Amino acid sequence: MDTRFLPHNSHLIDAGRFAETDPQLRHLAGRPLQHRSSLIDRLPISVPGIYSLGGGRQTGKSTLLKQWMADRLRHGVQPEAIAYFSGELIDDHHSLLLHMEDQLNAAPDTGINYLIVDEVTYIRDWDKAVKYAADAGWLTQTALMITGSDLAFIQDARMRFPGRRGDAAVADFHLHPLSFREFLTLKGRMDELEDGLEEPARLPAEAIDAVFRAFSRYLLHGGYLTAINDLAEFDTIRRSTLATYSDWIRGDVLKRGRREPYLREILAAIVKRYGAQVTWNALARDLSIDHPRTVADYVALLERMDALCVLPALLEDKLAAAPKKARKLMFSDPFILHAVRAWLAPGDDPFERQIRPAGEEPQWASRIVEACVAGHLRRFHPTYYIKAQAEVDVAYVRGGRFWPVEVKWANQLRPKALKQIARYGNGEIWSKDRRPGEINGVKTLPLPIQLLRIGCG
């Protein structure tokens, strides 16, 4: 193996000390809170094939892969059967093919081999090397895991390797920031809540209060583990943590040939209209960018990077997006919003001057909460908003029908603002109320409790 890759393959020197010597695992062990994603248990164990792992920057993809490697070693896989390559160190498909050939020749002849190529999209024409390796029969005993921060590469993988990906039922994986449920699990609080989630009215008042307090904290750091640990360890989110994420966004956009001034303008426009209905034409009119298509191009890129959530209007009769109606733009996680705002308006203490006040200011808090609900729902269901006589904040499709949700993060609910949601027999209001109730014939449910239930049934 090329010596440049050895720091990330310390298991080849001493497998028993891999958790201590690997840079990602060693860093994780030194933080107050340590997360093990349930996704690790779904990654391949015994089925060869070409697999992909996508997800935004700083979500912990590399750390997850190292945890997977450590898990395979604990289960008796020979160290020589596992290799990790960083795509940032490989120029093109010729180099990738040589590294793959060297590794597979050195791997054991029995059992499955695990070959990881992290951030594969850094490698020019990477797919040519993978296709050649598959066609040459090199991967018959190998689980090849390729990762990238541009979600389009997952769709590309499906099209570029037809019939070559293996027999696994699931070959593509997506790592999101921690959900609110995962955050509570991280804090050791989910066990006491699990039995009461189906009947929130029976949960003790102190348990409900604890969930609401945890949710207020979640709105500050979102699901990014570095920010979560910052707040746990330092009672703030460090400027360096915010800058690291915004630097990644800018760097990835520039690598794709886009312009930083345009990116800044578009991000500022998204923040200004956060969660409101917008069209590309309306956005372009307010910017120095000449053409609405350019705005749409930057937005699509940010969405592919898993930084932005584009919420289309719902065609209720077709359960699909209305292509000609305005969209709602919001970031995929509260932390991304905070990092972007800190970049757009830099200051000495962004946490105290921007992040904490946003969670306390009613209008901003409502926007952040609505985006949080949409971001959680779209992990499991096609998610939209409803644009009819009035707006319904979110609607998700499940079981062949749509389910409208009005998000009300205010201390009082005004019946006049609920006329549209009341038109739907299955509509729900997710609110600040601690207990389930009803208003104008529409169920009201405690919003943080509903977030904990998403994806559980």
Find all residues with CB under 8 Å of 382, minimum gap 6, and list them: 319, 396, 397
Beta bridge partners of residue 148, listed in sequence order: 54
Say if residues 155 and 126 touch (Cβ distance below 8 Å). Answer: no
At residue 116, φ and ψ (nearest 5 deg) are -110, 130
Beta bridge partners of residue 321, listed in sequence order: 314
Q: Percent of the chain scored above 90 by pLDDT?
A: 82
Residue 407, SS3 per DSSP:
strand
Instruction: Return the C-alpha torsion angle 437, 438, 439, 441, nearest 10.
Output: 180
Q: Tell me the torsion sign for CA atoms 382, 385, 387, 389.
A: positive
Find all residues with CB under 8 Å of 235, minimum gap 6, and list them: none
> How many residues does this entry show for the chain?
457
Q: By 3-state DSSP, what share of the chain in percent is helix, strand and coil, each rounded to 5?
A: 50, 15, 35
Q: Cα(304)–Cα(326) distance, rounded to whole angstroms?
A: 19
Residue 68: the pLDDT is 98
Q: Which amino acid is at 232?
A: A
For the stretch 340-360, pLDDT in tens is: 999 999 999 999 999 999 999
* CA-based nearest residue to 246, from 230, 229, 224, 228: 224
Both tokens of 219, joined, read 């709105």
Helix H or strand E segment including 314: strand 314-315
**pTM assigned to the model:** 0.94
Residue 227, SS3 per DSSP:
helix
Contacts 24+ apart (CB under 8 A), 322-327: 322/387, 325/387, 326/277, 326/278, 326/279, 326/282, 326/387, 327/277, 327/278, 327/279
What fold does the segment set 3-174 form as a domain? Answer: Rossmann fold (3.40.50)
Say if residues 371 and 309 touch (Cβ distance below 8 Å). Answer: yes
Both tokens of 99, joined, read 């590294």
**Domain boundary assignment for the chain:** 3-174, 181-453
Q: Percent of the chain scored above 70 by pLDDT?
A: 99
For the stretch 254-274, pLDDT in tens is: 989 999 999 999 999 999 999
Local confidence pLDDT in tens for the 457 residues of the chain: 899 999 999 999 999 999 999 999 999 999 999 999 999 999 999 999 999 999 998 899 999 999 999 999 999 999 999 999 999 999 999 999 999 999 999 999 889 999 999 999 899 999 999 999 999 999 999 999 999 988 877 677 667 777 777 778 888 999 999 999 999 999 888 877 877 787 888 888 999 999 999 999 999 999 999 999 999 999 999 999 999 999 999 999 998 999 999 999 999 999 999 999 999 999 998 899 989 999 999 999 999 999 999 999 999 999 999 999 999 999 999 999 999 999 999 999 999 999 999 999 999 999 999 999 999 999 999 999 999 888 999 999 999 999 999 999 988 777 777 889 999 999 999 999 999 999 989 999 999 999 999 976 5
* CA-based nearest residue to 299, from 324, 276, 328, 321: 328
